[in-house]
Chains A and B, each alone.
Chain A
Amino acid sequence: MQQGVGAKPATASKAKTAKRRPWMAYIAIVPFFLVVILYELAPLAQLALNSVIGRDSEALGLENYIRVFTTPLYTQSIWNSVWISLLSAVVGIVVAFLAARFCSEASPRVRSGFTMVLNMMSNFSGVPLAFAFMILMGNAGVLTLIGEQFNIPFLANFNLYGSDGLVMMYIYFQIPLATLLLIPAFAGIRKEWREAATILKASTFDYWFRIVIPNLMPSILGTLSVLFSNALAAYATAYALVMNNYALLALQITSRFRGDVQTDAATGGALAIVLIALMVICTLVNNYFTRRAAKGREIV
């Protein structure tokens, strides 16, 4: 055995950390932190600060939040934002589920054509989308004209410039996003499951509701949460359609800061924090259910 002959106790190796991990190397990360602090963290902190300094009392407190939750315009905005986002997210996920399912079973040609459409149209949002819907379903829109000529009240009397129109457009931009998020999940459904289920005498209903949907649940919930946040924060589409004349959280927040009359950073800050809180709640609820649904599997 070649035990170290004459091995001396090690003299504490000085300066090794200084030599190998010089603080100089950290310089490269400084610009990143600087920009993140200046344009991400500090603005957030500013909003939080705005929200807790009373507009009228100029004192630290919940004055602004109390105003937000007692003024009909604001409570209505919060409510409208939540239900429009939720409705569009749920409709979006149902359509996306079916579309992703058919897409995963389709021939490669159909599949690539369809995903191409999804990818392209997922970019069609914001102001251009609102404009297209005005041409289509606005007061003198193409479909409105058709509705009048053929006496279809739904089309003829469709009110684009209100909640109906917003829901319609939000659903529009949710579908491609949701489908693109769900298609990869369907790729995880193994053909062997269907075969195994058939051998075990499971009906088609059993197969879908006891095997496929439970297995896809984490992805479905995750997608739902993305859709909800996405709709909650959407601004351009709604603004292009109704300007600030609708009780919607994103519109009201922005108009507090870019008001035609006077800015009201205090109320705007409180509304912004409410919006962030809604998103955080949505994420937390989603995480809770996703973890339950994942049953110990790794959540992708």
Chain B
Amino acid sequence: MAYIEFRDVVKRFGDNTVLDHINFGIEKGDLVTLLGPSGCGKSTLLRCLSGLEQVTEGTIILDGEDITNVPASKRSIGMVFQQYSLFPNMTVEQNIAFGLKMQKTPQDVIDKKVAEAIAMVELTGKERAYPASLSGGQQQRAALARSIVTEPKVLLLDEPLSAIDAKLRKALQSRIREINQELNLTSIFVTHDQDEAMVMSDVIQLFHDGRIEQAGSPVEVYTSPVSEFAASFIGSYNQLSAEEFGALAGTVVPAGNVVAIRPETIGITTERPAEADGCYVVKGMVVDSVPRGNVLRYTVRVGATVLRVDALFRSFHMFNTGDDVFLTIPEHDCLVIPAAA
């Protein structure tokens, strides 16, 4: 039995089904990301686990115990919220000590644990500061410390970094990952940002319309999306209908499927490549190019189809708009997946 199990969890708000028979387990110590667009149910599932929402049907098991009907305050689950949720009338120290006080921990133990937690989130020197005088990143770090200091069985993070600017965000992502590993603390992270999910997680649960669309390691989810939705949400796959792909590659794909091709798997050259075993080679024309970090993204028109192609940024080897080019597409990188209904 997994450490956390969701069994047939259903959540409805009125007639609106937000979670539709969710079943999965989470292993102890894992960092699991619930990934999906807003409104897909990922936050609701997190809140059901926390006890802040009640499930309509189904069971939630934590550490071998059915917690479906246990009140939130008795579940020993830590949570970091999307908005800044520090208590404004308490200092950083008092905020972090709050949970321990609720457990009636002796004062000397509180002092020791609070100091450790503050060090762990690198807020030393800010013990006596009030939340209003902290930056957003500092507030979320304090909130993180507050939720781990009570040594909860699970740490829930509900898009905690969405209001924080890009640079700090990277640092906090790795800090959260480190804490998860140092404390072997099972953590569930909700996000709508697939890059964030990629860097942080052991397992990604991809949500779509109240169901789990796909689950797996970041690499699995990235390289082999199981559906059109997964392909469009993860990475920036080129998606071609069966007819388009047929016209492009001359290969027949069963109707009702789409072909997904990652832009970085496509090769781009001026001359027709001499050796191209196991590859489709097509001729097209560059219509646009945009630099994206260390990659140059070309938009190439092939017949009636437009493909995005990523090539490493090499100044000595660039193509201009209007250039005729050859695209080399490895057959095994053309993923045939069912089209969305």
Q: Do chains A and B touch in the complex (CB under 8 A)?
A: yes
Bound Cα distance A4, B8 (Å):
9
Q: Choose from A3, A4, A8, A16 the contact partner of B69 (Cβ within 8 Å).
A: A16
- The answer to whether B216 has its CB under 8 Å from any CB of chain A is yes
Give the size range of A's interface with the partner: 10 to 19
Smallest CB gap from B215: residue in A = A1
Shortest beta-carbon distance, A7 to chain B, in Å? 4
Q: Choose from B2, B57, B214 the contact partner of A13 (Cβ within 8 Å).
A: B57
- The answer to whether A5 has its CB under 8 Å from any CB of chain B is yes
Give per-residue flags for B239-274: 1 if the beta carbon is below 8 A from chain A beta carbons, else 0.
000000000000000000000000000000000000
Bound Cα distance A5, B5 (Å):
9
Q: Choose from B6, B7, B25, B203 the contact partner of A8 (Cβ within 8 Å).
A: B7
Smallest CB gap from A18: residue in B = B69
Asked if B69 and A19 sit within 8 Å, CB to CB, the answer is: yes
- The answer to whether B24 has its CB under 8 Å from any CB of chain A is yes
Give how many B residues have a beta carbon under 8 Å from the other chain's beta carbons.
25
Known contacts A4-B23, A4-B25, A5-B25; decide if A16 and B68 are in contact (CB<8 Å): yes
**Segment 47-85 of A: residues with Cβ below 8 Å from B:** none
Shortest beta-carbon distance, A93 to chain B, in Å? 39
Asked if A3 and B24 sit within 8 Å, CB to CB, the answer is: yes
- The answer to whether A12 has its CB under 8 Å from any CB of chain B is yes
Give per-residue flags for A1-29: 1 if the beta carbon is below 8 A from chain B beta carbons, else 0.
11111111111110111011000000000
Smallest CB gap from A14: residue in B = B69
Q: Choose from B9, B55, B215 the contact partner of A2 (Cβ within 8 Å).
A: B215
Asked if A10 and B58 sit within 8 Å, CB to CB, the answer is: yes
Known contacts A10-B59, A12-B57; decide if A1 and B216 are in contact (CB<8 Å): yes
Asked if B203 and A10 sit within 8 Å, CB to CB, the answer is: no
- The answer to whether B291 has its CB under 8 Å from any CB of chain A is no
Bound Cα distance A1, B214 (Å):
8
Residues in B whose Cβ lies below 8 Å from that of A17: 54
| Chain A facing B: main interface SS | loop
Residues in B whose Cβ lies below 8 Å from that of A16: 54, 68-69
Bound Cα distance A16, B67 (Å):
11
Q: Choose from A2, A9, A11 the contact partner of B25 (Cβ within 8 Å).
A: A2
Shortest beta-carbon distance, A3 to chain B, in Å? 6
Residues in B whose Cβ lies below 8 Å from that of A3: 23-24, 215
Smallest CB gap from B5: residue in A = A4
* Inter-chain CB contacts under 8 Å: number: 58
Asked if B8 and A9 sit within 8 Å, CB to CB, the answer is: yes
Could you name 9 residue pairs across A and B whose Cβ atoms are closer than 8 Å? Answer: A4-B23, A4-B24, A7-B5, A7-B23, A8-B7, A9-B8, A10-B58, A13-B57, A16-B68
Nearest 4 CB-CB pairings of A with B: A4-B23, A10-B58, A7-B7, A1-B215
Asked if A2 and B71 sit within 8 Å, CB to CB, the answer is: no
Choose among A1, A2, A3, A13 the residue with the greatest number of B CB atoms under 10 Å from its CB. Answer: A2
Residues in A whose Cβ lies below 8 Å from that of B10: 10
Shortest beta-carbon distance, B253 to chain A, in Å? 25
Give per-residue flags for B121-149: 1 if the beta carbon is below 8 A from chain A beta carbons, else 0.
00000000000000000000000000000
Residues in B whose Cβ lies below 8 Å from that of A8: 7-8, 59
Q: Choose from A1, A4, A20 the contact partner of B7 (Cβ within 8 Å).
A: A4
| Chain B facing A: main interface SS | strand
Residues in A whose Cβ lies below 8 Å from that of B214: 1
Give per-residue flags for A88-123: 1 if the beta carbon is below 8 A from chain B beta carbons, else 0.
000000000000000000000000000000000000
Shortest beta-carbon distance, A36 to chain B, in Å? 28
Smallest CB gap from B58: residue in A = A10
Shortest beta-carbon distance, B201 to chain A, in Å? 13
Asked if A2 and B2 sit within 8 Å, CB to CB, the answer is: yes
Asked if B8 and A10 sit within 8 Å, CB to CB, the answer is: yes
Bound Cα distance A5, B24 (Å):
8
Shortest beta-carbon distance, B151 to chain A, in Å? 25
Bound Cα distance A17, B68 (Å):
11
Shortest beta-carbon distance, A20 to chain B, in Å? 6
Residues in A whose Cβ lies below 8 Å from that of B5: 4, 7
Bound Cα distance A12, B71 (Å):
18
Smallest CB gap from B30: residue in A = A2
Shortest beta-carbon distance, A10 to chain B, in Å? 4
Asked if B23 and A10 sit within 8 Å, CB to CB, the answer is: no
Q: Choose from A4, A7, A9, A13 the contact partner of B68 (Cβ within 8 Å).
A: A13
Give per-residue flags for B178-211: 1 if the beta carbon is below 8 A from chain A beta carbons, else 0.
0000000000000000000000000100000000
Smallest CB gap from A20: residue in B = B54
Asked if B69 and A13 sit within 8 Å, CB to CB, the answer is: yes
Bound Cα distance A10, B57 (Å):
7
* Known contacts A5-B25, A17-B54, A20-B69, then 13 further A-B pairs from the complex at CB < 8 Å, ordered by chain A residue: A2-B215, A3-B24, A3-B215, A4-B23, A4-B24, A5-B1, A10-B7, A12-B57, A13-B55, A13-B57, A13-B68, A19-B69, A19-B71
Residues in B whose Cβ lies below 8 Å from that of A13: 55, 57-59, 68-69
Shortest beta-carbon distance, B206 to chain A, in Å? 11
Residues in B whose Cβ lies below 8 Å from that of A6: 1
Give per-residue flags for B62-104: 1 if the beta carbon is below 8 A from chain A beta carbons, else 0.
0000001101000000000000000000000000000000000
